[in-house]
Amino acid sequence: MGWTDERVELLKQLWTEGLSASQIADKLGGVSRNAVIGKVHRLKLESRAKASNVAAPVVERQASHHLKEVETVEMVQPTRIVAARSVSARSMPRTHGATALKMEPEEVAEVIAEPQRQSGEVVPIARKLSLVQLTESTCKWPVGDPLKPGFHFCGNGSNESSPYCEYHASLAFQPASERRRVR
DNA sequence: CCCTGATTCGC
DNA sequence: GCGAATCAGG
């Protein structure tokens, strides 16, 4: 499989997002992690903030017999802040294990991508607040990976009844029925 | 052994 | 340009 514009674009996005080469390769499909790394270099976009990100434990390897992607849990609600802080432990959520808790990449991308703008938008722009900046009236929807640099919270205003802004509340409290495809 | 990215070099 | 093989490291 070659590098189509779309695939290259996805590569750039995921790489920038902080995913490892193997994870990206896995997502793209048809390419090895070496291929991804090679491409990354040719594109001259390696310098990713490689601070706190090193070897990910990986829940399970090929040990999972023939049980691959099962996609069961509908876990849409993000981890609670408390968890995000203390659990900052060594458990990187992977898409691999069927039970891996993972935030929708698309959701994340949308929120981070948009530059600061006004309100009234369908999708609120994250105010990028850190943990300590959260108050009772700020949306506590986490954006990004707690273990990676750039992690922050939505921070937009929320109703006193909800920990999230309207938009994220609508995402968080969806029934566990039909969510969009995860892959 | 698992993983990570970096580099080389034949294709 | 591509990516397997290899290297260096956690």
Neighbouring C-beta atoms of residue A162, cutoff 10 Å: 15
The pLDDT, as a whole number, for residue A120 is: 46
- Asked if the Cβ of residue A109 lies within 7 A of any atom of strand C, the reply is no
Render pLDDT for A117-127 as a digit per residue (tens, 0 to 9): 444 445 666 66
Confidence category of residue A9, pLDDT binned at 50, 70, 90: confident
Residues contacting residue A89 through CB under 8 Å, at least 6 positions apart: none
Could you tell me how far CA A88 lies from the centroid of its own chain?
15
Strand C and A55 CB separated by under 7 Å: yes
Q: How far apart, in Å, are the Cα atoms of A85 and each of A20, A91, A138, A152?
A: 22, 12, 17, 12
Q: Residue A58, CB, less than 7 Å from strand B?
A: yes
Residue pair A156/A130 in contact (Cβ under 8 Å)? The answer is no
Per-residue pLDDT of A102-116, as tens digits, reads 444 444 444 444 444
Interatomic separation, CA of residue A58 and C1' of nucleotide C6, rounded (Å): 24
Is the C-beta of residue A29 closer than 7 Å to nucleic acid chain C? Answer: no
- pLDDT top residue among A2 and A17: A2
Which nucleotide across the nucleic acid strands is nearest to A32, CA versus C1'?
A: C3
Which nucleotide is at minimal CA–C1' distance from A20?
B4
Q: Tens digit of pLDDT for each residue in A134-147?
A: 777 888 777 666 65
As a rounded value in angstroms, the CA-to-C1' distance for A37 and C6 is 14
Give pLDDT tens digits for A26-53: 988 889 999 999 999 999 887 765 444 4
Tell me whether strands A142-143 and A152-153 are parallel, antiparallel or unpaired: antiparallel
pLDDT of residue A127: 60
Whether residue A55 has pLDDT greater than 60: no
pTM above 0.85, yes or no: no
Q: What percent of chain A has pLDDT over 70?
A: 39
**A24's tokens:** 């990206």
Look at the alpha carbons of A118, A123, A124, A128 in this order and tell me if their dihedral is positive or negative: negative
